[in-house]
Amino acid sequence: MMLCIWEMGWMYIDKRIEWIDVAKGIGILFIILGHVFNTGFLRKWIFSFHVPFFFVVAGFTFSINRGIVDFVIRKAKTLWIPYLFWSCFSIVLYSALVVIIPSFGEPLDFMNSFFVVLYGNSRPDIMKWNTPLWFLPCLFGTNICVYFIELAARNIGGPNKNFRVIIVALSWGLGIIIEKYLNMRLPLQMEEGVFMIGFVESGILFYNSEFRKRVERFATPFLALMLFVLLIIGCWISSINGFAEVRIFSYGKVSILFVLTSLLLGSACILLSFIFENSYVLQRIGKSSLTILVLHKFPVVFFQKICPVTKTLLSKPEEITFN
Q: What is the pLDDT of residues 53-80, one digit of tens each?
A: 999 999 998 988 889 999 999 999 999 9
For position 87, what pLDDT does the model report?
A: 96
Overall pTM surpassing 0.75 (yes/no) = yes
Which residues of the chain are modeled with pLDDT < 70? 1-15, 157-160, 304-323
Q: How many CA atoms lie within 13 A of 58 on its CB side?
A: 30
How far CA 20 is from CA of 27, 56, 250, 279, 305, in Å, comes to 10, 11, 28, 12, 34
3-state secondary structure of 245: strand
Please give the C-alpha separations between residue 25 and each of 38, 97, 164, 268, 282, in angstroms, as whole numbers. Answer: 22, 29, 27, 14, 5
pLDDT the model gives residue 298: 86
Q: How far apart are CA 2 and CA 287, in angstroms?
A: 11
Q: How many residues does the chain have?
A: 323
What pLDDT score was predicted for residue 127? 93
Instruction: For residues 18 and 2, give the distance between their C-alpha atoms in angstroms, rounded to a whole number.
Output: 9
C-alpha 251/C-alpha 2 separation (Å) is 38
Nearest to 245 by CA among 236, 235, 255, 237: 255
Nearest to 254 by CA among 266, 243, 268: 243
Helix (H) or strand (E) holding 126: none
Cβ-contact 13, 60 below 8 angstroms: no
Q: What is the pLDDT of residue 314?
A: 61
